[in-house]
């Protein structure tokens, strides 16, 4: 799956460098990432049932729904078989999270294709970037925002005492912050991927632990990327609506999260604060950056 994500990022970069108009680029990118974004689209009564759709629907009920669909309320023996529906659901979630992470990372980058600079060379870098986000990033990523926030909130609520009480005692140790988990989280947060000096997860319990922490961390990274990429639309929301989005989304139940998880939230809030200031003081912020 990692190789597919690398290929996806490379293809997105190639599309952005094509000597074509913004409209052509957007259409090509829409076709390229449609299988990624469609998996995260808000469920509707007419949506075709898929494992990811069932997960999104269940996560709408909060952490308890996530516990149920991932089988965290089942004994560890239910996670022994690779064909177990709970194991398959974790794999499905992980694949979709990684695919969206790769897509969001590339689509949220500043405009860098030559034709964009030629068409709007008289604008500042700030306006150039804003034009790119409005024309490409917002139309492609805006449909996934609601679903991503629903899943992030459900993951945050896993650490609530009431939710933890639903977890089977044999699975509960998966929530422990081991040395492997600490190193993995720090590696993800600073962009390092070398884990050779630590053993890879092998037992069902270790795999559950690894998936819970890594998926959650990647989802928080996606939230930060969405706030960057969708800033032209998000920061035009009334302040109370944006605050509600933050409170009910990435910051839900934050007081019960492990300390290393708070690092990710602080990073997201810093990005949001910086971009919010950018909307009102673009010249000053650009100067200091």
pTM assigned to the model: 0.81
Q: Cα-flanking dihedrals φ and ψ of residue 13, to 5°?
A: -60, -40
159-164 mean pLDDT: 92
Q: What is the CA radius of gyration of the chain?
A: 20
> Which of these ranges, 143-157, 175-189, 265-279, has the smallest mean pLDDT?
265-279
Q: Cα–Cα distance between 24 and 10 in angstroms, integer?
A: 18
| Packed helices 85-107 and 2-16: angle between N→C axes, nearest 10 degrees | 20
Confidence of residue 87 (pLDDT cuts 50, 70, 90): very high
Q: What is the pLDDT of residue 258?
A: 76
Using the predicted structure, report yes or no on whether residue 67 has a pLDDT greater than 90: yes
- DSSP symbols for 106-162: HHTSPP--HHHHHHTTTS-HHHHHHHHIIIIIHHHHGGGHHHHHHHHHHHHHTTSHH
Q: What is the pLDDT of residue 93?
A: 95
- Summarize pLDDT for 205-259 with one digit per residue, the tens: 889 988 888 898 899 889 888 888 887 777 676 767 777 777 776 777 777 777 7
More confident residue, 112 or 265: 265
Q: What is the pLDDT of residue 286?
A: 42
- DSSP symbols for 210-256: HHHHHHHHHHHHHHHHHHHHTHHHHTTS-HHHHHHHHHHTTTTTGGG
In sequence order, the 6+-apart residues with CB closer than 8 A to the CB of 154 are: 59, 61, 62, 63, 65, 66
- Summarize pLDDT for 98-136 with one digit per residue, the tens: 999 999 988 887 544 444 444 444 345 455 566 677 788
Structure tokens at 10: 């490379």
Q: What is the pLDDT of residue 85?
A: 93
Q: What is the pLDDT of residue 115?
A: 40
């Amino acid at each position: 799956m990692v190789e597919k994500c690398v290929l996806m990022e490379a293809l997105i970069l190639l599309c952005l460098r094509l000597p074509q108009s913004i409209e052509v680029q957007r259409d090509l990118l829409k076709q390229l990432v449609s299988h990624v974004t469609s998996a995260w689209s808000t469920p509707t009564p007419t949506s075709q049932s898929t494992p990811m759709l069932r997960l999104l629907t269940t996560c709408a009920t909060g952490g308890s729904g996530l516990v149920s669909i991932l089988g965290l309320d089942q004994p560890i023996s239910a996670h022994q078989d690779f064909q177990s529906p709970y194991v398959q659901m974790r794999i499905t979630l992980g694949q979709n999270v990684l695919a969206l992470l790769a897509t969001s990372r590339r689509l949220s980058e500043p405009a860098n294709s030559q034709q964009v600079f030629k068409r709007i060379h008289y604008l500042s870098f700030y306006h150039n970037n804003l034009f790119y986000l409005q024309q490409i990033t917002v139309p492609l990523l805006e449909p996934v925002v609601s679903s991503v926030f629903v899943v992030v909130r459900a993951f945050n609520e896993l650490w609530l005492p009431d939710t933890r009480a639903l977890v089977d005692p044999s699975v509960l140790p998966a929530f422990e912050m081991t040395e492997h988990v600490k190193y993995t989280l720090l590696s993800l947060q600073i962009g390092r991927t070398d884990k050779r000096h630590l053993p890879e997860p092998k037992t069902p319990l270790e795999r559950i632990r690894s998936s819970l922490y890594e998926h959650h961390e990647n989802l928080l990274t996606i939230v930060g990327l969405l706030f960057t990429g969708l800033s032209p639309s998000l920061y035009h929301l009334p302040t109370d609506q944006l605050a509600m989005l933050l409170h009910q989304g990435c910051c839900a139940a934050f007081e019960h999260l492990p300390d290393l998880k708070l690092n990710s939230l602080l990073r997201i809030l810093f990005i949001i604060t910086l971009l919010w200031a950018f909307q009102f003081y673009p010249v000053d912020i650009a100067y200091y950056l």
